[in-house]
A and B are shown apart, each in its own frame.
Chain A
């Protein structure tokens, strides 16, 4: 198995810490809030407020489970439109109270289903992209496991995007890539190698800004190694960003995404 395919396997491991475990590992006194105030409470998306070094921070995550039962309850970490709208509601609340935002992303992508289409999956993702470019508080997004497609991007418009050593971030799953381009999903390992979806690849083309290390003995074994790293660097990142006037922050966020693209002419 090539390195990229190994990373994909790691990123999807059912034992991998979930978004809520990250949130609780990084923040103190976290309290979870529910619902999009419009349609439902999507359990694939979690969010609330906690303290980071004594300061309130809004945290949002896409939540998977450690068991089949938990995964069914979390819809395997694939959000419906109301999940993205719940996230947006909590982010707007963060802006109102001047709290920075951290997102923990772990999803193969937005859910594909009839209800999701009826309630505007495309609109929900699009609205988050649009609104996140205007939020006047610092945002850091951390890809903790799988980061798939627009469903991940919808929580990853940020001032800094970080990624776990064994995380992945791609336009779609390697299986999907192989089946669409080669009509052969069994070539997923080859696709993974081609897709440049590992943290090492993504820091080179500046899609991510920081690689978050995982303990050699495994993230499940020594989780606090990773959470204390995140904690320390998050305090620092928010301190830096909060010194910037909001207009400057938004300008930098715009430029961060403006640079993407390879073309001639």
Chain B
């Protein structure tokens, strides 16, 4: 079939900007790369899905698998209507290491994703409860964390500390932004420090692990939530699967590094279906009242 062939080709070519991610073997996101934008391929059942068949939760009508969501799509299903106000909307990356054509890579990712970098941050309310919200987006260089992601997250957390608000972060990341070198590594410490300060003030930090959450993000703020939620079947781990396979020279067990695996091993509080996230988070916010915790 002609369109199969075409889609496969497109998938490969649009992988280019994803190269910056730490884990190139991370399951590929085919969805946004279909040229006419009408057909998407489900990553779980591999079936083509007509785009209009997907509702706002982007769940496969054929197998129930999850399509990856953009940060703005998550705002839509999560925040009270019109409550989201963006922070640091215009922050963009520099080229600290002088990496060849990093500016072009960034520009291409910006065009592809409609974002300035791999995280959207702001304030909102959820079920009437105000919070600071940050959502990473895998459509921008596989959600890799460089200076902009680190700085926007840090500022968001610091803002929350200052205003005594809870923090909610949706993680998705292939890991550190290689093209920014050691500065990307330092972002892990920087964000963790901000979360520590927020925590010392007795404030709540909830994070939601979405597909995929790996590398430096897993080894920092993704694992620091007071409450850690995860979407079903999300890939969550520290090392990439190919790296592990190369190290140990054996196959990986079924279900390795899934959200369920993390739940089983004690690193996730609860797996929450996408349609239930809003009400679950609203309940968690309600259960952690602060002086600023209730609006309206």
Instruction: Tell me, yes or no, whether B134 is within 8 Å of chain A by CB.
Output: no
Interface size on B, residues (CB 8 A): 67
- Shortest beta-carbon distance, B21 to chain A, in Å? 8
- Name the A residues within 8 Å of B45 (CB-CB): none
- Name the A residues within 8 Å of B252 (CB-CB): 114
| Given A123-B223, A126-B223, A130-B195, A181 contacting B19 (CB threshold 8 A) | yes
Instruction: Tell me, yes or no, whether A195 is within 8 Å of chain B by CB.
Output: yes
Indicate the size class of the contact surface on chain A. 35 or more
B186 nearest in chain A by CB position: A260
Query: How far is A175 from B55 in the complex, measured between Cα atoms in Å?
Result: 43
**Which residue, of B178, B181, B215, B256, has the highest number of chain A Cβ atoms within 10 A?**
B181
- Shortest beta-carbon distance, A193 to chain B, in Å? 11
Instruction: Tell me, yes or no, whether A196 is within 8 Å of chain B by CB.
Output: yes
Are B150 and A260 in contact (CB-based, < 8 A)?
Answer: yes
**Which residue, of B180, B194, B239, B252, has the highest number of chain A Cβ atoms within 10 A?**
B239
Query: How far is A196 from B224 in the complex, measured between Cα atoms in Å?
Result: 30
- Shortest beta-carbon distance, B212 to chain A, in Å? 12
Option from A110, A120, A153 in Cβ contact (under 8 Å) with B188: A153
Interface locus among B28-36, B86-94, B269-277, B280-288: B86-94
Option from A125, A150, A195, A263 in Cβ contact (under 8 Å) with B94: A263
Interface locus among B59-67, B75-83, B243-251: B243-251
Q: Could you give, for residues 82-113 of chain A, a 1 whenever the CB lies within 8 Å of some chain B CB and a 0 otherwise?
A: 00000000000000000000000000001111
Q: Could you give, for residues 161-178 of chain B, a 1 whenever the CB lies within 8 Å of some chain A CB and a 0 otherwise?
A: 000000000000000101
- Shortest beta-carbon distance, A12 to chain B, in Å? 17
Option from A112, A183, A194, A261 in Cβ contact (under 8 Å) with B97: A194
- Shortest beta-carbon distance, A125 to chain B, in Å? 4
Are A134 and B196 in contact (CB-based, < 8 A)?
Answer: yes
- Name the B residues within 8 Å of A70 (CB-CB): none
Are A257 and B223 in contact (CB-based, < 8 A)?
Answer: no
- Shortest beta-carbon distance, A127 to chain B, in Å? 7
- Name the A residues within 8 Å of B22 (CB-CB): 172, 180
Query: How far is A205 from B147 in the complex, measured between Cα atoms in Å?
Result: 14
Option from A129, A177, A194, A261 in Cβ contact (under 8 Å) with B192: A129
- Name the A residues within 8 Å of B154 (CB-CB): 258
Known: A171-B176, A181-B20. 9 other contacts (CB 8 A): A110-B239, A113-B247, A120-B267, A126-B223, A129-B189, A133-B189, A183-B24, A196-B181, A197-B181
- Residues on A lying within 8 angstroms of B by beta carbon are 110-114, 116-123, 125-127, 129-130, 133-134, 149-150, 153-154, 157, 169-172, 177, 180-181, 183, 194-197, 202, 205, 207, 253-254, 257-258, 260-265
- Residues on B lying within 8 angstroms of A by beta carbon are 19-20, 22, 24, 88, 90-99, 147-148, 150-151, 154, 176, 178-190, 192-197, 199-200, 215-216, 218-224, 237-240, 243-244, 247-248, 252-253, 256-257, 261, 265-267
**Shortest 3 CB-CB distances between A and B: which pairs?**
A122-B218, A112-B239, A261-B147
Interchain Cβ contacts under 8 Å between A and B, 6 examples:
A112-B247, A130-B199, A133-B189, A258-B194, A260-B190, A262-B183
